[in-house]
Structure 1
């Protein structure tokens, strides 16, 4: 990949991680950045992730081959307006937002489609801020790329190359298709989890017995209700058409379930569980959905030769049996690159202690 001059507007968890990853892939990339907090820029200069700190969105951006917009989606249009005068005719502006329609529509209104290619690295965590960024955050994660009708094909290929240089998995999608897909496999499950938790809270006994005995399946399917309220408020606001559509379909499906239960329709109930089991079991382990199994840990590792084998050897040496192990490709709302499943809670807990002692960063969510 040729040496590029790359600008960043926003340098939080995602922006900082991409900047670090690009520097790791090619130290000759020249990276400049603007962030609201000067201490963020000072930290990035100090650790070598960027070469130049900007005081604002200004003429320095005319030197950029690529500009990554990594700010909250509610600020997209404001920054598009600010960036536009400094965007070279042959330069590409891309973003990292988890909803694409709003920015694509704004870009079209402003006549910037020939300079824009949408992006969505499906990696992240509950934490935010540059201090939590790392150069391997998007390794083995899907990096969705959403071109406009006017995006130059050679630039789309070049952006795919940048994603590959980060060891990510580029995936080209239409932006409307992207937003429909994430509404079903990410946004709806979060709404279901949060509403189910609130239902149990409201229907609990005065002694809170439901809360006392809640475990297993309930905790598995509601874990994602612990995600950031601010982030999910913005996601629901920006993808509301897709969410309300698929949520309506889900409500109709629940009505059918309620009717089957009320009527004692054993065949319909059996079919519900049978078809869902078949489809759930057909989902590849590498594409982790929002519902996790009970006895699992997530381990942050760098993608290098022997990394997984080393962990497997450590566990085997201590007689810990592994049920399943694999790389998480969609970890936008997960922490950890490697998912390891165990047969029981004791093995899972023992593995957490052991890998922590070996200085691995481990996330254990029950």
Structure 2
């Protein structure tokens, strides 16, 4: 497809979308803008975009597709700015925000001018951020939610999918209201719970200094998402507050139920509670990407001697396997430590496990 694509926001998501469009539609011209001029310069240098726009009006006015890849509050302001510009009559505008209803409501200003806006949410991410972390494969097999209003024609929806076909994502079309409820359940609410667990642990650690030391390893893993951007999650919660208030009320009922089981000493009820949770959790898809970025970790039992970490990473480098993070859970004299290596995809993790087993006799696992 030929045309001019304008990407507003050149972080991980915006940069990755630009790469996907460039690969699938090499004849398209990709223009980029970021409030951080260094990010824009880096995007041009890395070949993520073809040209840098000095400002939003310069980039938007002759564009056929405009992608807003910015925090949800900034997206509302950008839509407001776009609604005042002279744009091509057939321009297609979309966003990548984690909430949809309020953003689509703001886009009414575009609808009044006959401009098509289709809300979008690619449900993929990474441990890393910024345009330097952008990858063509970021959205592969991930769900990409589209939230068009009722007046949007199927032709427009298919046109947007055609532009984004290089993502190799699985497109689902739902209403903005349904989007915010679903993402509230499986993304926004878990972030609140993770943050609350960390906050409670912090408070309790005031009286027990050993708690932070014991909270390494598994505790850090189950609360990883609490390390996400506080500013971003403040905005998301405010945009989806009605759904989250309902979910928190249901969570309080759930915790009261567990409390009652404990007060009654109901061993059968407690066993059933954990059995049902295990059954549902074990039945969840293992090969699909969901709303929260997956952590493709490989655990390697390693002996405690100098150079063992560089030995492992050296083997991975020989096989051209990229890692996103590496850390040691525990190393003490005369026992094995646990090296945790994180990868971008499950395929990379499988290749890494095969590589390590080929070159060493170390034990590996995908869970610990």
Q: Normalization by structure 2: what TM-score? A: 0.78
Against the structure 1 CA distance between its residues 300 and 40, is the aligned structure 2 distance closer, same or farther, given a 3 Å change threshold?
A: same
* Per-residue deviation, 1:207: 4.1
Equivalence map 1:198-237=2 (5 Å) = 198-204=199-205, 206-215=207-216, 217-237=218-238
User: 1:190 Cα deviation (Å)?
Assistant: 1.2
Per-residue deviation, residues 133-192 of structure 1 (Å, max 9, x unmatched) = 233322232221111112221121122233331222222222211111111111111111
Match of 2:76 in 1: 77
Q: Which residue of 2 aligns with 1:91?
A: 91
Residue 67 of structure 2 is aligned to residue 68 of structure 1? yes
Q: Quote the residue 2:23 is aligned against.
A: 24
Q: Secondary structure at the match of 2:66?
A: strand
CA distance in 2, matches of 1:230, 1:81: 21
Equivalent in the alignment of 1:317: 358
Q: Is the contact made by 2:5 and 2:64 (CA closer than 8 Å) also made in structure 1? A: yes
Per the alignment, residue 6 of structure 2 pairs with 7
* CA displacement 1:69-103 (0-9 Å, x = unmatched): 11221122321122123332322100010111110
How do 1:291-330 and structure 2 match up within 5 A? 295=299, 297-300=341-344, 310-311=351-352, 313-318=354-359, 319=361
Residues 5-55 of structure 1, C-alpha deviation per residue, up to 9 Å, x if partnerless? 211122222111211221122221111122223333333333332223222
| 2:145 is the counterpart of 1:101 | no
1:58 is paired with a residue whose SS is helix
- 1:359 is matched with none
Separation in structure 1 between the aligned mates of residue 67 and residue 90 of structure 2, nearest angstrom: 15
Work out the CA distance in 1 between the residues paired with 2:206 and 2:78.
50
Q: Is the 8 A contact 2:32 2:59 kept in 1?
A: no
8 Å contact kept, 1:100–1:179: yes
**Residue correspondence of structure 1 range 147-226 to structure 2 within 5 A:** 147-204=148-205, 206-215=207-216, 217-226=218-227
- Structure 2 stretches of 5 or more lacking a match? 300-339
**Residue 158 to residue 276, structure 1, CA distance change in 2 (3 Å):** same
Contact residue 5 and residue 29 of structure 2 kept, 8 A? yes
Taking the aligned partners of 2:354 and 2:213, their CA distance within structure 1 comes to 38
- Distance (Å, rounded) in 2 between the aligned partners of 1:202 and 1:302: 36
RMSD: 2.7
Distance 1:39 1:225 in 2: 28
Distance 1:322 1:65, change over 3 A: farther
Contact kept? 1:95, 1:120, Cα under 8 Å: yes
Task: Assess, with a 3 A threshold, how the Cα gap between structure 1 residues 284 and 60 changes in structure 2: closer, same or farther.
Answer: closer
User: Which runs of 5 or more structure 1 residues have no equivalent in the other structure?
Assistant: 324-340, 345-366
Secondary structure class of the residue paired with 1:278: helix
Match of 2:151, SS state, is coil
2:141–2:289 CA contact under 8 A, matched in 1: no
Q: 1:225 to 1:90 in 2, by over 3 A?
A: same
Give the SS at the match of 1:285. coil
Matched residue count: 322
CA distance, structure 2, for counterparts of residue 194 and residue 91 of structure 1: 40
User: Match of 1:131?
Assistant: 132
Distance 1:105 1:62 in 2: 22
Matched-pair contact (CA < 8 Å) for 1:220–1:294: no
Distance of aligned partners of 1:110 and 1:65 in 2 relative to their CA distance in 1, 3 Å threshold: closer
Partner of 2:243: 242
Alignment TM-score, normalising by the size of structure 1: 0.79
On the 8 A contact 2:298/2:364 being kept in 1, the answer is no
Distance 1:9 1:217, change over 3 A: closer
User: 1:34–1:55: 8 Å Cα contact kept in structure 2?
Assistant: yes
Secondary structure of 1:283's aligned partner: coil
Comparing 231-240 with 283-292, greater Cα deviation is found at: 283-292
